[in-house]
Structure 1
Amino acid sequence: MGNKQGELETCVCLQGYDLIGITETWWDSSCDWSAGMEGYRLFRKDRQGRQGGGINDQLECMELHLGMDEEPTESLWVRIKGRAGAGDIIAGVCYRPPDQGDRADEALYRQIGAASRSQALVLMGDFNHPDICWRDNAAECKQSRKFLDCVDDNFLLQVTEEPTRRGAMLDLILTNKEGLVGDVKLKGSLGCSDHEMVEFRILRAARRAHSTAQHSKLTTLDIRRADFGLFRDLLGRIPWDKAWKEEGPKTAV
């Protein structure tokens, strides 16, 4: 990020992002907190034992420490307090190295499981599973299949639809709430990076309005307008089992 800081600040100024997640910054102990941008609060996690995001100040937020006693993972979790009448959002940023071992993978999956129990989760990052076919929910290698199991077990939705690096979909956006994330777009690369930037919106208000409208529609159903004649006709066409007709239904209490 050292040689991309100016371009990033220009991009942020033009777009007015509330939340920015960055992986593979290659920052180490020589980079102090002045690397943050004005108007944003920086949350940072450097690699441990390897060669080495920000949130708008107007949002009330705090870092979460998930799985601190486990195998170290390159993941960062922040709780963003919702505005009046809205629940909190957990935002996660993750980088999974291509050579990450099974123990670190399992630790990451436990963190994802803990975060997914929140009311609203948005998890973004580079997970390095190029062999996953999200359309068929299938993968070739064992590690990718385990990642798909984690996604399924925690009822997560993957909303990135286009390749983000050389024809591969490495950079993903996962959420545990349908309709929470929308307007996903690729925005080109930052500097000489070979990854595409991914832009999206958190559509909490739109989802809430949609849910309210849907609920109103359901509560206005009028049973007096039902076609009971058609209902009886459809029931009469069911090929009931002969034994059921002769003996009657079996019930248990």
Structure 2
Amino acid sequence: MKNSHEHVESLWVRIRGNKGNLVVGVYYRLPNQRETIDEAFLLQLQETSHSQTLVLGDFNHPNIRWKSSMASCRQSRRLLKCIEDNFLSQVIDSPTKGDAILDLIVTNVSGLIGDFKIGDSLGCSDHMLVEFAVLKDVGQAKSKIRTMNFRKARFQLFKELVNRITWETVLRD
């Protein structure tokens, strides 16, 4: 079989601006897509999440309940895990096809986009038109408040240290 990346229907564009770059991706996932192709896309999503990223697309995961971050299908759970592991957020909260949220906007920059409108379908599409505004300049001035960079965290070490604690003693009384 050829490389699964060749079968991923996605387009990635780096938009260069005066204040920084923005990576915008558009993705289409077939409703019954093979897991190998899903994995190839999740790798692309993980790679681009290290820059200021915005991903739009028809992800075709109708069994995801976004409010509770739950899914009954393994492939949908893999998408949720990738979003969580890479500190991304999915911002669409209204149905885009029937009662399902299939068309997603995923970003790793809080407050980057807003003013969402789910409108009528465009042309003969059975999906609703999603409109939004880019609210922030990319690469805008850095905050002077220091925060931890969880992308550099050593979670395995943290897990080992937490497991060494005798919780029965610490939580007594």
TM-score per shorter chain, which class?
Answer: 0.7 to 0.9
CA shift in 2, pair 1:116/1:207, >3 Å: closer
Instruction: Give the strand-richer structure, 1 or 2.
Output: 2
Structure 2 portions without partners, runs of 5+: 146-173
Q: Is the contact between residue 186 and residue 198 of structure 1 (CA under 8 Å) also seen in structure 2?
A: yes
Instruction: Say which of 94, 98, 107 aligns to 2:27.
Output: 94
Q: How big is the shift at 1:69?
A: 7.5
Q: Is the contact between residue 71 and residue 103 of structure 1 (CA under 8 Å) also seen in structure 2?
A: no
1:123 maps to what in 2?
55
Q: Give the Cα–Cα distance (whole angstroms) in 2 for the partners of residues 186 and 134 of structure 1.
A: 16
RMSD: 2.1
CA shift in 2, pair 1:166/1:69, >3 Å: closer
Q: How big is the shift at 1:207?
A: 9.5
Mark the structure with the bigger radius of gyration.
Answer: 1
Q: Give the Cα–Cα distance (whole angstroms) in 1 for the partners of residues 138 and 85 of structure 2.
A: 27
Q: What aligned pairs does 1:1-253 form with structure 2 within 5 A after superposition?
A: 70-82=5-17, 84=18, 86-118=19-51, 120-205=52-137, 208=140, 215=144
Q: Give the Cα–Cα distance (whole angstroms) in 2 for the partners of residues 80 and 207 of structure 1.
A: 12
Q: Give the Cα–Cα distance (whole angstroms) in 2 for the partners of residues 110 and 92 of structure 1.
A: 13
Q: Give the Cα–Cα distance (whole angstroms) in 2 for the partners of residues 70 and 201 of structure 1.
A: 30
Q: Is the contact between residue 20 and residue 138 of structure 2 (CA under 8 Å) also seen in structure 1?
A: no
Identity of aligned residues (%): 48
TM-score normalised according to structure 1 size: 0.53
Q: How big is the shift at 1:192?
A: 2.5
Q: Is the contact between residue 190 and residue 197 of structure 1 (CA under 8 Å) also seen in structure 2?
A: yes
Q: Give the Cα–Cα distance (whole angstroms) in 2 for the partners of residues 207 and 79 of structure 1.
A: 13
Look up the SS of the partner of 1:160 in the other structure.
coil
Structure 1 portions without partners, runs of 5+: 1-67, 219-253
TM-score normalised according to structure 2 size: 0.76
Q: How big is the shift at 1:203?
A: 1.4
Q: Deviations over 1:127-149 (max 9, x none)?
A: 00111111111111111101101
Partner amino acid, structure 1, of 2:107: T
Q: Deviations over 1:76-133 (max 9, x none)?
A: 1000001x2x110000000000111111011000000111111x10100000011111
Report the number of matched residues.
Answer: 143
Q: How big is the shift at 1:71?
A: 4.6
Q: Give the Cα–Cα distance (whole angstroms) in 2 for the partners of residues 100 and 203 of structure 1.
A: 34
Q: How big is the shift at 1:175?
A: 0.3
Q: Which has the higher contact order (CA 8 A, sep 6+)?
A: 2
